[in-house]
Structures are given as C-alpha cells and as structure tokens.
Amino acid sequence: MKDDKVDTRTLLEWSAKYHTPNYGRTPILLVRGEGTRVWDSDGREYLDFTTGISVTSLGHCHPVVTGAIREAAATLLHVSNIFHAAPQIHLAKLLVENSFADRVFFCNSGAEANEAALKLARKYGKEKLADDRYEVIATNNSFHGRTLATVTATGQPKYQHGFEPLMPGFKHVPYNDLRAMERAMDSHTAAILVEPIQGEGGVNVPDDDYLPGLRKLCDESGALLIFDEIQTGVGRTGRLWAYEHAGVEPDVMTLAKALANGVPIGAMLCRDEAASVLTAGSHGSTFGGTPFVTQVALATLTTVIGDKLPERAARMGRELMDGLRALQPACPVVKQVRGRGLLIGVELSTPAAPIVDACREAGLLVLSAGEKVVRLVPPLIVESADVRRALGILNTVLAKAKA
C-alpha cells in the first residue's frame, strides 16, 4: 500500500505512462464512494450521475452489497462451472422467476453476454431453422460491446475502425424503422439484436409499436428476438426489464452492468427452445457466475426487487425529466430531453463534452452519449434533494452555453 503516499499528479502521470492509451480519461482520481456521492484525492465531493456507466444502481458501497461481498469472499470465491454452487443456482432461479426466461448462462461482462447470445443465434439458426440461417440484423447507432463479434454487431463505424475485417454474418438497419427491418430480413436471418432503448447511441427511445413490430417479424420468420438490456435492465428504465414497457417478450435477453452493482458479471437469459441448442460443452466460461459474484448479484437483485427500485426509478426519473424540461426555455442549447426512468438523455445543439466538464467542475458527474447528448444515469436510490441539486448545476451550466 506504499503507493498511497504517491501524490495525485504523479499517479496521473503514471496512468498516462503505463496504461494502453485507449481511454480518454477525466483528470480526477476517485478514492471513495458512498450512496450518490464520490470523492476525489483532493477531498472534493461529487454527485455521481454516471454510476460507473449505469452499473452502481444501488449507489456506492450499499451495505447489502458490501455485506454480500464480505460474506462471499470469506466463504467460497471460485470453483469453476465443473461444479455446482448454490448462489449461482439461486440467482438463475430468481432471474427466471422474474422474467420471460426459462434459463440463464453466466459470464463476466456485457460483451460476453452478447457474444453468448450471438453464438446461440447461429447454432439455433443452423439446427432449428435451416443450414444457412446465420445472419444477425442489428441497428445503426447501437452499442453491443468491444469483442470482434459484438463490435461488428455495434452499428457505429467509430468503434470498428482499424479492426477490419469484421465478422461476416451481420447487417445493420436504421433503429426504430420497422419497414427497414422487414426489408432486411431474408432466408439467412437467424436473429434480430436490438437495445429496447439505445444507450450509448444517444438515449434513443423507439416508438411504442417498434418492439411489438419486431416481435411480430420474428414470430413470422422464426428468427430469434434478442434484447440487449445490458444498460436498460435491472430497473433502470422504471420497470425491472425495459421490454415490459412494450408489452412483448424477447427470446433472448442479455444483462451485465447493474446486475451485481459493480462486481463484474454478465448473463444471457433465454427460453427453453433456444437454450436447447447449447448442449454440454458447446459454450462456457471459467469465471462465469462464480459463487462470489453471484452472491453479490443475488443481494443486488433481491434489493432492487424487494425495495421496489424500478418504481422508484420511474418516479425519480419523472422528477428529473420534468425538471430538465422546465430548464429548456432558459437554456436554448437544449434541443430535446428524452428517456425513460433514470436513463435520460439531454440532446444539445453543441458538443456534450464541454458541458460534461463544466458539470464536473461544479460537482456533478454526468456522461455523454454520442457527440451531442448528455446522459444522466443516477443511482436508483437517488433522492429528490440530489435531483434538485443536479438540476441547479445543470441549469447554471446549460444557461451559460451558447446554442
């Protein structure tokens, strides 16, 4: 622990020197978190509306999560999936009992959950539909991860540049465009992959008929409907799963981010029919669903459900969204406020980055989503007082910005 003595400036220099340079990091060093707040190495307090990119939904160091981490770490950390372990079984059961799904596969990240869904789609297409049904149709501006398959599925060239050749077997169509999806589907289509609300792509909420329309297209063609709920799931949008807003269910759903409140986990949930192609040995992960991480996820999900946090997200989301809309007349830089629950985007007429920086300097951490959208993803435990404080800072910053 002798590095505790190293001053912040030196640490930031070492960060630039010793890390691969693939992150554009904010120049602060965070040292502690509690609830809706984090503190940097200079003792400055910030209201955290980034939640580690929509991960720490119960806030920082929630006692239930910290307790589960302590207990699990002192009981059984890891045994691999060649053995059974109780927390993994309890978590799978809890997920199934609270969703459309019959079965769950555990992994370690969002990309891996989508990777599992994509492999499932290919095997399902081949074995249940026809030999040449391998293609996955995804949407422009989507985000599905950084592995080669998931970055191929991601409909944003900026994430793909330099990594070509990309994977074969993917197509992209505009989001929220049923006609385009219908036209793109053909005798090769194995699955449609979409986010119920696009997160990284700008907090894009589709029309009410979009997800039901995709369901219908999949029912007609036999293709699997895969919802990437890595960002929208676990209560973020005001329902436990975002698909509940649409009144339709997917065949496959992927989760990660908030599922264990910051301990790395991914999950792929599916129906029996789809799961049946994942025969013993066909897919796997060494770390996937360790007793440790699943104990923490179990504590997290039990708290989200038991404390009715999706309802809370809906209520607090309305407060925040109403407040943001009320700022609009005084802040001409704001073009649109959109979102659902506590996944909120503020579209600007100018780049979001300077606004994100100005908010941080005023004590509020927020994200961007694409070039011109400020993204707000507070923890689901956020209080009205926090919302008012954030609105005050946003008002000051946005009113000063030139449209």
Ligand X SMILES: *Cc1c(COP(=O)(O)O)cnc(C)c1O
| 145 contributes a contact to ligand X by CB under 6 A | yes
Query: Which positions from 236 through 295 interact with ligand X, judged by CB under 6 A?
Result: 256-257
Instruction: Measure the CA–CA gap between 121 and 138, rounded to whole angstroms.
Output: 13
Other C-beta atoms lying within 10 Å of the C-beta of residue 30: 16
Nearer to ligand X, 231 or 295 (CB): 231
Are 173 and 139 within 8 A, CB to CB?
yes
Q: Please state the closest distance from residue 254 (CB atom) to ligand X, in A.
A: 7
Q: Please state the closest distance from residue 186 (CB atom) to ligand X, in A.
A: 25
| 111 contributes a contact to ligand X by CB under 6 A | yes
Residue whose structure tokens are 């007609």? 220
Query: Which positions from 199 through 228 interact with ligand X, judged by CB under 6 A?
Result: 199-200, 228
Interacting span for ligand X (CB under 6 A) from 7-15, 137-145, 214-222, 267-275: 137-145
Residue number closest to ligand X, CB atom: 110
As to burial, measured by CB atoms within 10 angstroms (0-12 exposed, 13-18 middle, 19+ buried), residue 139 is: buried
| 144 contributes a contact to ligand X by CB under 6 A | yes
Instruction: Measure the CA–CA gap between 357 and 346, rounded to whole angstroms.
Output: 15
Nearer to ligand X, 139 or 303 (CB): 139
Q: Please state the closest distance from residue 376 (CB atom) to ligand X, in A.
A: 15
Q: Nearest-CA neighbor of 214 among 229, 237, 194, 236? A: 194
Q: Please state the closest distance from residue 365 (CB atom) to ligand X, in A.
A: 17
| 141 contributes a contact to ligand X by CB under 6 A | no
Q: Among 109, 152, 176, 189, which residue sits at the site for ligand X (rule: CB under 6 A)?
A: 109
Nearer to ligand X, 200 or 347 (CB): 200
Q: Please state the closest distance from residue 263 (CB atom) to ligand X, in A.
A: 12
Interacting span for ligand X (CB under 6 A) from 140-148, 165-173, 288-296, 346-354: 140-148
CA dihedral 360, 145, 82, 291 (to 10 degrees): 20
- How many residues of this chain interact with ligand X, rule: CB under 6 A? 15
Q: Nearest-CA neighbor of 236 among 252, 257, 210? A: 257
Name, in order, each residue with C-beta under 8 angstroms of 322's C-beta and a sequence gap of 6 or more. none
Q: What is the Cα 333 distance to its own chain's centre?
A: 27
| 230 contributes a contact to ligand X by CB under 6 A | yes
Q: Nearest-CA neighbor of 364 among 37, 52, 25? A: 37
* Structure tokens that stand for 300 in this block: 């997290």
CA dihedral 377, 379, 382, 386 (to 10 degrees): -50
Sheet holding 135-139, edge to edge: 103-107, 266-270, 252-255, 224-228, 189-194, 135-139, 170-173
Q: Among 49, 106, 143, 292, which residue sits at the site for ligand X (rule: CB under 6 A)?
A: 143
| 304 contributes a contact to ligand X by CB under 6 A | no
Active site residues: 143, 228, 257
Q: Please state the closest distance from residue 112 (CB atom) to ligand X, in A.
A: 7
Interacting span for ligand X (CB under 6 A) from 63-71, 125-133, 192-200, 305-313: 192-200
Query: Which positions from 113 through 132 interact with ligand X, judged by CB under 6 A?
Result: 114
Binding site for ligand X (CB under 6 A): 109-111, 114, 143-145, 195, 199-200, 228, 230-231, 256-257
